Amino acid sequence: MTNHWIDLKNSDVILIMGANPAENHPVSFRWIMKAKDAGAKLICVDPRFTRSASKADVYAPLRSGTDIAFLGGMISYILQNNLYFEEYVRNYTNASYLVNPGFKMPGDLNGLFSGYDPKKRSYDPKAWSFQKNADESVKKDPTLQDPNCVFQLLKRHYSRYTPDMVSRITGTPKEKLLEVYKLYASTGKPDKAGTSMYAMGWTQHTVGTQNIRTMTIIQLLLGNIGIAGGGVNALRGESNVQGSTDHGLLFHILPGYLPVPSADLKDLAAYNEKYTPKSKDPQSANWWQNRPKYITSYLKAIYGAKATKENDFGYAWLPKLDPGMNGSWLMIFDNMIKGKFNGFFAWGQNPACSGTNSTKVRNALAKLDWMVTVNLFDNETASFWKGPGMEPAQVKTEVFLLPAAASFEKEGSISNSGRWAQWRTAAVKPLGQSKADAEIIHELYQKLKALYVKEGGALPEQLTNLTWNYGFKRADGTIRAIDTHLVAKEINGSFLEDVEDKPKLKPGEKPPPTPPPWAPRKLLGKKGELAAGFAQLQADGTTSCGNWIYCQSYNEKGNMMARRVKKDPTGLGLFPEWSWAWPVNRRIIYNRASCDPNGKPYNMKKAVVYWNPNAVLPDGKLGAWVGDVPDGPWPPMANEKEGKKPFIMRADGLAAIFGAGMKDGPFPEHYEPMESPLAKNPMSGQMSNPAAKNFSGTGIKEDAFAANDGKFPLVATTYRVTEHWQTGVMTRNTPWLLELQPRLFVELSPELAKEKSIKNGDMVEVSSARGKVDAVAMVTRRMQPFKIGDKVVHQIGLPYCFGWSTPGVGDAANLLTPTAGDANTMIPETKAFMAAIQRKG
Amino acid sequence: MADAIKAENRKGFLVDTSRCIGCRSCQVACKQWNKMAADKTVEQGSYENPRDLTPALYNRIRFLEVGEEPGGVNWLFLNERCMHCGEAGCMKVCPSPGALYRTKEGVVAYNKEKCISCKYCVSACPFNVPRYDSDDKVSKCHLCLDRLSGGMPPACAKACPTGTLKFGKRSDLIADAQATGKQLYGVNDLGGLGVVYALEGPPERYGLPATPHIPLSIFLWKDVIKPLGILGFWGSIGAMLLHYVTIGPKKIDEAPEKEERHE
Amino acid sequence: MSNYIERFTAGERVLHWIVTASFFTLLLSGLGLFSRLFNGYFTLFGGGGNAIMVHKIAGIVFFFSSLYMFLKHRRDVSTFDEDDRRWIEQRGGYLSREEAHFNIGKYNPGQKLFAIFIAAATLILGVTGLFIWAPTLFPRWIVQLSLMIHGLMFVGTVMFVVVHVYLATIGNPGTIEAMLYGDVRSMWAKRHHPKWYKEASGENP
């Protein structure tokens, strides 16, 4: 979330699309209802009429997998009707940038952008470059009139997304489209806020990242980023998935969104060179220029005294990806089924149920020598060898199930979608032999380290050199029990030596004379002190920090995450002293964009921050931001000498309407899902995302596809329900919740039911090219057929929270879903695929 | 019926259906607090489960799909539970003093130890709420009396994320809701329901009786037959005594002559 | 000529007292169920729960014995003749101190009507009692109606029984002996049931 949960109450229009918060984030509706009480309008766009839709002022149905078309139409509507926030777009986005004149778009190239290489299935981003001035700065047209400027290109690109065209793709009635567009575009006024709530309904597509990009462009056009009640808000699906992503959950990022190095970056200097963006623009804060400080502090945190300047702070020990290597979830199982893995830790996860194309996952697990599962309960993964279709005697995989403690049984922080790290104490002791994850990891580490020390092996230093100061140490160096507070302190970071507070020099400025040795030294921090914030981190190895974005969370003032003060000085629900939010307790990120270039809030009634030019700072300087923690202390942009642009994490300080860093095009373009009901993309000759990884025809029998195939004529999607959580391992084992949703069902329209002679409550078989599941038919008016061109397309949906290990609930809906990944993130496309339905018996 | 509630003490719910998202936190929180076992249910093609109140389910959400036209559908959610009626049918018929009783907050509470398992309350409830557990004792929502006595709201209200279930002083809740122009159900019915609804349509749309009342035959039994019956009992005894002293018994004459004279 | 004549056999008497006993058990155990005013009667049975159990058992006994009793006497109580009509027209002479003489058979019309009423009430109370016994097995409206009718029939039955007891005891001295010993005095029989006396003894009264 750019914003946070409570901030929903500040919205004027809330767009729920690709999410179902009433069911999956019910507490968010506390704040949505408060917004509605204050007159806000709620829009819900979903293939199904959900519990969220039941509270919407406007509900619009759309066919699964057509969100870009829907939103592209909105961009077009906003531009055609001049409903965008012109000043915001001009000052805070790259709309004025001039793109090289050779750049071509899908309208010109039948669905492709310039620079596409069909053999590699990828783009050369050089084809999307900006026009440069002699001094390497980008050429701009502040009037936004140049035909090659981003704004005009945007207008041209989305002029193809007419309401008629969009309706033909999405199946949404045209009047509904226009109703949504008109309502949402009303937030383009400076004092209006529109927010977007999305979740897996947007991400789990082969165009997932571009779905979100489309909304981001809308939010930028309407000036909805950085303001109260605005933003692009990802509703995270697990209570701490934000925290685990922050701390390096994904294969390609280290804690704090530092890229995982690839093997061709031989030393830290090469790494820093590649990943530290440069900007000559004095108005750009270019915050990632600090990357060397963060990676060095990270290396110091994990390797401690072993990391020295001489050995590149242990950079060599960091695990590396092969250049261009894709280590994503889909590839893990793709490689596993090809026999490329010996062992596997399924830690707090249930891939045999949650993994798309679960048959492939289950068969892949059978190729392992061993697997360790760490979970609260037995599940489809731990017991995959005795699951449906498995011959236990034939499965060689040795499985270990380690019982883990539940979140209520251990102390630590949980980071919610709004980036709040909230400290929790243990409510009860772990049951039986179950242990907290940290304890299990600790034990594993001790055993492995002992083995490496005794027996050696490949790259022992990666393990033996790790710092492990997580508890009271016995004489032999072992730890009695893991102290979570020490982990939190390591994450926060500390001073390893006394660090002097050296004044920052402006280019050309002379350093002050060296003070005499007897003069008192002005220290930034003393050795052993916890760092107060990431601005104190150093690139020379004098500080350590496990995750720079969490620096400040546990400092000398105490555990900021444990704060529970209910003070709300702005009245906007920022609650700055309730827990702690990364970065530096900022509750709404990019909040400088909520003000005009002079620092005056666009909406005085809901001012997140404002520039007070008369505030006197301790060093005697004038001017300060008031309100939320701003994105840096510098004055607003209008101050030509010291002012900074608001989007500080971007090298140029501006939000990117033109996304030159994307793998599948700088502007989002509608492509059909990998499995589509249509013979042809109504938009262009390019059927599916040209840059998405293609798993068809690789010889793996589990990877079957059925696009535009009469045998599988139904658009299907998967989802969660309030009553079960993820694959249901916890909730299926909670009888109270199984009482509410006792088994797998499939939702379908009365029209489809009639066609297939299915009655409500009948047992049906739902199948796809990859598998089949038995489900109870839920025939409901909440589902409706879509008119796509001349064709009637039926949509069905199933929850994915069930699995065979709970008796009588049915098996995983992910047995149906395909192995297809988004071009940028490789997230699987589980939200739009083709299926068939048939009454049983 | 000695069923007077002081309005200033009366606590209750305001159930604002326009805020309900059908998350059923109320159902689960209730089970958790009251330590009730799960009911075994079967998927029958609806989110609504269990399909009725049970002895171990004090409150539940009714899922009501309305509208037949594609695109014209709506989904309504209604929290169903004991209404804690001001004039409670169950209390009216309960023969065991203290089995069903009124607390000072106006709650229709019960004491299982005093319940004699007659099940009259099952029949007398205008909303078909009371259930009997496996020990054959009455079982229904008691507004978490134990929590109330500790100054806490009932578990369902505490768990409700959207403010659908508002618990508090009944008159305040009603006044607040009326001030916002909400259409209320149950303000005056049956001596005022302890659970007042703000509905978005006519009560029938939610499966609620338009004008809830104690079933007619129960009314006749308790308010007509009972007093008249008692009157009739004593009346008939009185009449017999009167007959004895006025007209007198039919004595048998011992003298046979008299008998014969009759012939 | 004996001074006494047999009116009821031992079997008939025992049956009557079984009906009577079960009736009063029902009455006492049911009073508390009828209204909370009579809650004290539950203590006779050790609480309401027990009272309900007793009520159910007594109900079964009463139901079958009462109906059996009616069936046994159904010939005598279900036919009315010309003398009976005269009896009814003059209310059996109970409303006047004047002596009235009717040529009545074994039972007078009042007794016959009482028997028929009790039989009907037994049926109705029994059937409604069954619905009340297990209310959850039947539609609510049936149980609600049953509760009302059960109460109504109970009231009616009690009122009739009051009259029955009065007439069988102090209202008509000597009557009770028929149920106690089985024999009634000839004088009593000649006085109240001359037609029956004639048939039973063969004499002309």
Question: Which residues in chain B are contacts of C47 at CB distance < 8 A?
Answer: 116
Q: B249 and C33: CB-CB below 8 Å? A: no
Contact B161 A743 (CB under 8 A): no
pLDDT in tens, C25-57: 999 999 999 998 999 999 999 999 999 999 999
Among candidate residues C40, B67, B225, the one with its CA nearest the CA of residue A781: B67
pLDDT value at position C1? 53
* DSSP 8-state assignment for residue A805: T
Which of left, alpha, beta for A629 (phi over 0: left; psi -120 to 50: alpha)? beta
* Cα–Cα dist A128/A114, whole Å: 7
**Distance between CA atoms of residues A396 and A410, nearest Å:** 35
Number of H helices, E strands in chain A: 20, 31
User: B244 to chain C: which residues are within 8 Å by CB?
Assistant: 166, 170-171
Q: Which residue has the tokens 């939103």?
A: A71
CB neighbourhood size of A536 (10 A): 24
* Angstrom distance (rounded) from CA A277 to CA A256: 16
Q: Which residues contact A641 (CB under 8 A, 6 or more apart)?
A: A282
Predicted pLDDT of residue B260: 42
How far lies B126's CA from each of A324, A630, B95, B210, in Å? 71, 59, 18, 11
Q: How many CA atoms lie within 13 A of A223 on its CB side?
A: 24
Minimal-distance CA residue of chain A relative to B48: A740
Nearest chain A residue (CA) to B44:
A761
Q: How confident is the model at residue C204 (pLDDT cuts 50, 70, 90)?
A: low
- What pLDDT does B254 receive? 56
Per-residue pLDDT band at B258 (split at 50, 70, 90): very low
Report d(CA C39, CA C43) in Å as an integer: 8
Evaluate if residue B3 carries a pLDDT over 80.
no
Q: What percent of chain B shows pLDDT beyond 90?
A: 86
B31: part of which helix (H) or strand (E)? helix B25-33
Q: What is the DSSP letter of B220?
A: I
In the predicted model, what is the mean pLDDT of chain B? 91
CATH number for domain A7-237, candidates 3.30.1490.20, 3.30.360.10, 3.40.228.10, 3.10.180.10: 3.40.228.10
Q: For residues A668 and A157, what is the distance between their CA atoms, to the nearest angstrom?
A: 9
Closest residue to A781, CB basis, from B44, B68, B77? B68
Evaluate if residue B2 carries a pLDDT over 50. Answer: no
B63-90: average pLDDT: 92
Residue A733 forms contact with B (CB below 8 Å) = no
Q: Render pLDDT for B112-155 as a digit per residue (tens, 0 to 9).
A: 999 999 999 999 999 999 999 999 999 999 999 999 999 999 99
Alpha carbon of A165: minimum distance to chain B alpha carbons (Å): 20
Provide the 3-class DSSP secondary structure of residue A60.
strand
d(CA A759, CA A777): 7
What are A622's strand-pairing partners?
Answer: A616
Q: Can you tell me the distance from the alpha carbon of A689 to that of A86, in angstroms, rounded to the nearest whole number?
A: 31
Domains of chain C: 4-201 (1.20.950.20)
Domain boundaries, chain A: 7-237, 563-627, 714-839
Distance of CA A106 to the CA centre of its chain: 27
In DSSP terms, which residues pair with A413 in a beta bridge? Answer: A423
Is residue B256's pLDDT more than 70?
Answer: no
| CA–CA distance, A118 with B85 (Å, rounded to integer) | 73
Structural domains of chain B ordered from first start: 11-214 (3.30.70.20), 217-262 (no CATH)
Contact: C51, B259; criterion CB under 8 Å: no
CA A622/CA B53 separation, integer angstroms:
67
Question: Is B132 in Cβ contact with C147 (below 8 Å)?
Answer: no
What letters, b where the CB count within 10 A reaches 16 and e where it falls short, cover A27-52? ebbbbbbbbbeeebbbbbbbbbbbbb
Does B147 contact chain A (CB < 8 Å)? Answer: no
Count of pairs with CB atoms under 8 A, one residue in B, one in C: 137
Q: How many Å apart are CA A360 and CA A330, to the nearest integer?
A: 10
CA distance A298 to A491: 9
Helical residues (DSSP H) of A534-638, grouped into ranges: none
Whether C49 has its CB under 8 Å from any CB of chain B: the answer is yes
Phi first, then psi: give them for residue C151, nearest 5 degrees.
-65, -45
| DSSP label of A313 | G
C101 confidence band (pLDDT: 50, 70, 90): confident
- Tokens linked to A259: 């890229």
**Closest Cβ–Cβ partner in B116, B215, B226 for C34:** B226
Residue A325 in tokens: 């290597």
Per residue in A529-584, pLDDT (tens digit) is 999 999 999 999 999 999 999 999 999 999 999 999 999 999 999 999 999 999 99
Mutant choice from C144, C157, C159, C175 vs B, greatest count of B C-beta within 10 A: C144
pLDDT band with cut points at 50, 70 and 90 for residue B259: very low
A787 touching B (Cβ < 8 Å): no
* pLDDT of amino acid A766: 98
Residues of B in contact with C174 (CB under 8 A): 252
C-facing residues of B in 204-223 (CB < 8 A) are 215-218, 220-221
Both tokens assigned to B211: 């004008």
Is B32 an interface residue toward C (CB < 8 Å)?
Answer: no
The SS3 call for residue C49 is helix
Cβ A48 vs Cβ A780: under 8 Å: no
pLDDT for B64: 96
d(CA B89, CA B122): 9
- B25, B38, B46 member nearest A778 (Cβ): B46
Kindly state whether B259 is in contact with chain C, defined as any CB-CB distance less than 8 angstroms.
Answer: yes
Strand partners, A254: A258
| Residues pairing with A41 in the sheet | A13
Q: Is the ipTM of this complex over 0.85?
A: yes
CA distance A177 to A163: 7
pLDDT of B263 reads 34
* pLDDT tens-digit series, residues B28-73: 999 999 999 999 999 999 999 999 999 999 999 999 999 877 778 9
Q: Closest-CA residue in chain B for A809?
A: B43
SS3 content of chain B, % helix, strand, coil (to 5): 35, 15, 50
> Using CA atoms, how far apart are residues C191 and C205, in angstroms rounded to an integer?
9
Alpha-carbon distance of A527 to A529, in angstroms, equals 6
Token pair in block for residue A183: 């309502």
Place of tokens 């009185």: B238
* End-to-end Cα separation, chain B, in angstroms: 61
Side chain identity at residue A374, one-letter code: V
Q: Do chains B and A touch (3 or more CB pairs under 8 A)?
A: yes
Tokens of A112: 């492709």
CB contacts, 8 Å: B74 with chain A: 54
Give me the CATH topology for the region A714-839.
Barwin-like endoglucanases (2.40.40)
**Can you say whether the dihedral through the CA atoms of A732, A737, A739, A742 is positive or negative?**
negative
Element (H, E) at C73: helix C48-78
Q: Do C148 and B220 touch (CB under 8 A)?
A: yes
Whether the CB-CB separation of A307 and A298 falls below 8 Å is answered with no
pLDDT band at C84; cut points 50, 70, 90: confident
From start to end of A598-756, where are the E strands?
609-616, 622-627, 714-719, 745-748
Closest by CA to A307, choosing from A297, A321, A294, is: A297
CB–CB of A490/A471 below 8 Å? no
**Closest in C35, C47, C135 to B122, CB measured:** C135
Give the residue among C181, C169, C202, C190 at the shortest CA–CA distance from C9: C181
Contact A468, A486 (CB under 8 A): no
Q: Is B255 on the interface with C (CB under 8 A)?
A: no
Q: Tokens 């809030």 sit at which residue?
A: A601
Neighbours of A468 (CB within 10 A): 18
Collect the ranges in chain A with pLDDT lower than 70.
504-508
pLDDT of res. A377: 96
